[in-house]
Chain A
Amino acid sequence: MTGFRDPVRLLDEPSTSAELRGLLEVARADTIDRTAVARIEGGVRARMLRAPGMPRRWGIGVSTAALIGWFALHSAASDPSTDALDGAAAPATSIATEPSPALPPTRLVAPAERVPSPSTRTDAPAPARATAPTPPQPRRRSPRSAAAPRASGRASMVATVNPAPETAREEARLLLAARRALALNPAAALARTDEHGRRFPDGALREERELVAVRALVALDRLGEARARADRFIAQVPTSIHRPAMIRARDPK
């Protein structure tokens, strides 16, 4: 259409000074971390739920109760009453540094259409939009729901779709206590996960419970049990968003 060509970017220009290069390299770094992403995500989710008529297209399988549990898990971090549960400080690996439990794994339209990273992207074709949106498919299914689970092994691990809000809060409270205990008192953390397992065997935060439990077992040097539990989890929920974290927990350096 025109004879214009994109100029060489300053960072790709050999004559660019080290000073300016340093500025631009810092500028291209991420400005927010995972915790901030989780906070933004939580804010958007909350407003989605509040706003009348707002399209609830966050993604897949996100029940209101699970959201409440997710928020409770985060907001309870500032609740002094929960600090007393174990007397332990929040561990370095707080839930905010992990993928949020209710968030399905992010996936752009298709691998071929994935937007490349800034350092590698080219003028790729724009992601397409279908003429009619595809209804999102539930990621978490209830074993008691009419829909059959994808695999028989998964049925025992998938979470209930729509627990009552108070149930979700209690689940979140228990798991928060477990996470907080993890750094200083892994035995207490494991006990909390056991309690969660007894009270909410098919709870909405069951996958998160398994992750905490495996971390606690590793911290207690019960590596065989940790590995067995992690392997069972990975086999039963191979598509869990916690799979990478579970593998890292199972195979500590």
Chain B
Amino acid sequence: MASAATLPEAMPAPTFAEVFGEHVRYVARALQHFGVNPCDLEDECQEVFMVALRKLADFEGRASVRTWLYRIAWKHAANYRRRARPPYALARDPAVPPEQERALVYARTLDRLARILGELDDERRGVFVLYEIEELSMREVCDVLGFPLQTAYSRLKSARAHILAAVEPEARG
């Protein structure tokens, strides 16, 4: 990752509109996989961007904007999980018309994924979501979650084992 010292001096700071427009979908997706219930997703996404708005002036460019937003989203989702009402009922998303088979299959798949991710502890969940779904590098994952690299690898390995064990029996059953 480039350090702030190596970044081009003349690059203008991103405006909030730019940050929002480019990243809102990533943030929403990450929030959902971090455990935010779809019925709360828009509100929580809004909260993340309000925090980002307040902190944008302090953004120093040491990480990518996206990584920076993930970090805010991760902290926000952690707070959410502490106060949210479980379980995270993904299949209840009213935005998905149940009469549409494809949408229903999609919702069920998300529901199943949420159930499996929900079995992980926060650290393993965070590493797995950021690495396998959001496709950050492991170094970026560490930047978001504040782990040492070795810890992140260990959490990923453990998360993968859990998820494979959860998915494969279901697949056979």
Q: What is A's interface to B at a CB cutoff of 8 Å?
A: 2, 4, 6-7, 9-11, 17, 19-20, 22-24, 26-33, 36-37, 39-41, 43-44, 47-48, 54-55, 57-60, 62, 103-110, 113-115, 118-119, 121, 123-131, 133-134, 136
Contact = CB atoms under 8 A, between A and B. Distances in A.
A111 to B, nearest CB: 12
B159 to A, nearest CB: 10
A54 B156 CA distance: 39
Given A26-B106, A55-B54, A131-B9, A37 B24 contact: yes
Q: Which of A6, A23, A26, A104 is packed against the most chain B CB atoms within 10 Å?
A: A23
A41 B64 contact: no
8 contacts: A4-B153, A23-B109, A24-B133, A31-B29, A57-B15, A57-B56, A105-B21, A130-B12
B29 A30 contact: yes
Interface stretch (B43-51, B71-79, B81-89, B118-126): B43-51
A244 B149 CA distance: 44
Given A31-B28, A33-B95, A106 B113 contact: no
B64 A9 contact: no
A58 to B, nearest CB: 5
Contacts of A136: 15
Nearest to A21: B167
A179 B112 CA distance: 39
A134 to B, nearest CB: 4
B18 A107 contact: yes
Given A19-B170, A20-B164, A36-B42, A133 B28 contact: no
A11 B26 CA distance: 18
A106 B18 CA distance: 5
A214 to B, nearest CB: 24
Contacts, number: 202
A26 B109 contact: yes
A130 B153 contact: no
A33 B50 CA distance: 20
Nearest to A134: B12
Contacts of A33: 95
B61 interface: yes
A23 to B, nearest CB: 5
A125 B29 contact: no
A107 to B, nearest CB: 6
B145 interface: no
A10 B17 contact: no
B60 interface: yes
A133 B163 contact: no
Contacts of B156: 7
B38 interface: yes
Given A4-B150, A48-B53, A28 B63 contact: no
A23 B167 contact: yes
Given A9-B135, A60-B17, A55 B53 contact: yes
Lowest 8 CB-CB distances: which A-B pairs, in order? A106-B21, A59-B17, A129-B61, A128-B7, A125-B2, A128-B11, A19-B171, A126-B64
